[in-house]
Amino acid sequence: MVRVAAALSIVAVLSGCCTATVQPTPYQPLGKEGGYEDKQVAPGVYRVRVYGNGSTSGERVQKYAELRGADLCANAGFPRMRLTDGGVSVNQELYGDAYGVETISRPVATYTVVCMSEDEFQRYQTAMRAKLLGVEPSSTTQPVAR
């Protein structure tokens, strides 16, 4: 009985060591567990890409892309930014051995970040309101009640 209990204890300890749960990718520069990378493509314009691991959601990599864009623009002296032409995709990787095949999905967010001054942001916001509401830009410059 003592041997059985000892054997079960060893199995429990070993299975606890070998069953590691993978944490979602943290907000960090690109490394083995994922992270962000960026490249300046023009003054105030950056291409940002965030890679997640198999435990990271697409929503999380998108939020990390937004955060990285905000960090880049703030560091460049711009108070505002917007994300353009991008989105979240999923890379699927297959791993297999004699016992079977496993698919791991890894989300990737890729966006162009455009840094904006406060005036540029106000002009952009006015133009977008006009486009969405179908009115002339001059009629959308009224202050918005809050």
> Tell me: the pLDDT tens digits for 40-93?
999 999 999 999 998 999 999 999 999 999 999 999 999 999 999 999 999 888
Q: Are 85 and 49 in contact (CB under 8 A)?
A: no
Q: How many domains does the chain have?
A: 1
Q: What is the mean pLDDT of residues 18-37?
A: 87
| pLDDT of 141 over the 50 cut | no
Residue 6, domain member (yes or no): no
Residue 114, domain member (yes or no): yes
Kindly give, in sequence order, each residue whose CB lies less than 8 Å from that of residue 107, ignoring residues fewer than 6 positions away: 51, 52, 56, 57, 58, 60, 61, 88, 89, 90, 91
Residue 125, domain member (yes or no): yes
d(CA 61, CA 112): 14
Confidence category of residue 98, pLDDT binned at 50, 70, 90: confident
Confidence category of residue 29, pLDDT binned at 50, 70, 90: very high
Residue 8, domain member (yes or no): no
Question: What is the pLDDT, as a whole number, of residue 107?
Answer: 96
Q: Would you state the structure tokens that stand for residue 135, as one six-digit string?
A: 């009115």
Residue 16, domain member (yes or no): no
Residue 97, domain member (yes or no): yes
Q: Are 50 and 87 in contact (CB under 8 A)?
A: no
The percent of residues in the chain predicted with pLDDT above 70, rounded, is 79
Higher pLDDT, 73 or 19: 73
Range of the domain at 128: 22-135
